[in-house]
Amino acid sequence: MLNGRNILCTGGTGSFGRHFVRRILADYHPNKVIVFSRDELKQSQMEAEFGAPNLRFFLGDIRDKDRLKRVFGQVDYVVHAAALKQVPALEYNPTEAVKTNIDGAMNIVEAAIDTKVEKVIALSSDKAVNPINLYGATKLVMEKLFTAANAYAGHHTIFSCVRYGNVIGSRGSVIPLFQRLKDEGIKEFPVTDKEMTRFWLTLDESVDLVLFALQKSIGGEIFVPKIPSMKIVDIAHTIDPECSIKEIGIRAGEKLHEKLISEDEKNIYLVENSSCIQATEEYNSRDNDSWLTKKQMRRILK
C-alpha cells in the first residue's frame, strides 16, 4: 500500500522518524517520503546520510496549522511522531507541552481533514494510561483527539494511534545514559527505584507496529504491542555487570510501573506476531508474562 504513495513523518529527524524513513526507503517504493521537523541541522545531516532522490525535507512546526496544510497538500499517509517528551522538563514547562502535544495534534487533525489525507497514525505512550505527569496527560488528550477525529472526517481521512513503551537506545532513554557512564569509567549508576519496571521494544518493532496500523486501521483504534518488561536495575547490570546501584528516588511525574492498557479502556487492540485481538484486561509492566533477560538485552544492544 506504500508503493507509489507520498508518506510524511512529523518529527522525522527524531529516533523513530529516522528509522521509519530508512525502513520505508529500503523496503518499499514510495513516490515521496517527506520529513517534517523544525531542526534544520538534523535535516541537513539526514539528507547527506540518506541521499535518496525521493526524500524531501520541510522545515516547520506542528504548532503552525497553515504550514501543515501547505505540506499535507499532496500527501497520502501521515505518521505523527513529533512531540515534546522529556517528563521532568514538561513538568516545569507545562504551557509548551500543551502547545506542541495538544494544540499541535489538533492542527494535524484539522490539516489532514482539510487536505483529505487518506490515513493518519499518531504515536502515543504508555504514560498516557492513567497519567500522573503532564507528558502522559497530553498524550492521553492527543489519543482522544485522534480517535474522535474520525467522526468529523467522514470517509476521507482515517485516524488511529499506536501506543508503546520505552524504545531501546532512543534519545532520552536510560540506556544511553548508562552506556555513557560506563564509557566514562563511572561505576555507580543512578536508579530511581530498584523495583522499577518498564516495557521495552526496539526501533524496528516500533516501526513494525506503525506499518501494521497503516495497513489494518479502519478508524479510531489504538494499537498496543505485546512486548516484554525489564527492571531498570537489570538494564544497568546488563550494561556493566560490575556497577553498583545508587537509588535516587522517583522523580516528579514518574511511576514505579507502567501500564499499556487499563482495565477500563475500550477499542484497544493488542498486537502480537502480526495479528491483533481486542484487549479486555489491564496490561502492566509489573505483571507482564514476558520478560527480557540480560542475555537478550545484551544481544539487542550489540
**What's the one-letter identity of residue 186?**
I
Residue 42 neighbours by CB under 8 Å, 6+ apart: 13
- Quick one: pLDDT at residue 266? 86
Question: What DSSP character marks residue 127?
Answer: G
SS3 category, 208: helix
Quick one: average pLDDT of 152-174? Answer: 89
Considering 127, 231, 255, 259, which one is annotated as catalytic?
127
Domains, the chain, in order of start with CATH, read: 6-164+203-224 (3.40.50.720), 174-198+228-265+280-301 (3.90.25.30)
**Of 36, 225, 226, 245, the residue nearest 120 (C-alpha):** 36
Is the pLDDT at 251 greater than 90? The verdict is: no
pLDDT tops 80 at residue 99: yes
Which residues, including other chains, have CB under 8 Å from residue 257's CB and lie 6 or more apart?
196, 197, 284, 285, 286
Q: pLDDT value at position 95?
A: 98
The cell numbers describing 36, all together, are 517534517
Model pLDDT for residues 24-68, shown as the tens digit of each residue? 999 999 999 999 999 999 999 999 999 999 999 999 999 999 999
pLDDT for res 88: 87
pLDDT at 252 over 80: no
The H-assigned helical ranges of the chain are 15-27, 40-50, 65-71, 87-92, 94-97, 104-115, 134-148, 150-153, 174-183, 203-216, 232-239, 294-301
Single-letter residue type at 64:
D
Would you state the pLDDT for residue 274? 87
For residue 12, give Cα distances in angstroms to 43, 105, 116, 197. Answer: 9, 15, 21, 29
Residue 127 bears catalytic tag: yes
pLDDT at residue 224 greater than cutoff 90? yes
What does the mean pLDDT of the chain come to? 95
Side chain identity at residue 9, one-letter code: C
For the stretch 105-134, pLDDT in tens is: 999 999 999 999 999 999 999 999 999 999
Looking at the chain, the whole-number percentage of residues with pLDDT higher than 70 is 100
pLDDT of residue 114: 96
Cell numbers found for residue 58: 520541510
Note the pLDDT of residue 255. 93
Determine the average pLDDT of the residues in 204-222: 97
Query: 289: helix, coil or strand?
Result: coil
Q: How confident is the model at residue 302 (pLDDT cuts 50, 70, 90)?
A: confident
pLDDT in tens, 267-301: 899 999 889 999 999 999 999 999 999 999 999 99
pLDDT of 172 over the 80 cut? no
Planar angle of CA 16, 165, 193, nearest 5 degrees = 125
Three-state SS at 279:
coil
What's the pLDDT at 250?
87
Averaged over 62-75, what is the pLDDT?
97
Q: What cell numbers appear for 113 in the block? A: 481533514
Q: How far apart are CA 60 and CA 10, in angstroms?
A: 9
Res. 199: pLDDT tops 90: yes
How many CB atoms sit inside 10 A of residue 40's CB? 11
What is the predicted pLDDT for the residue at 171? Answer: 75
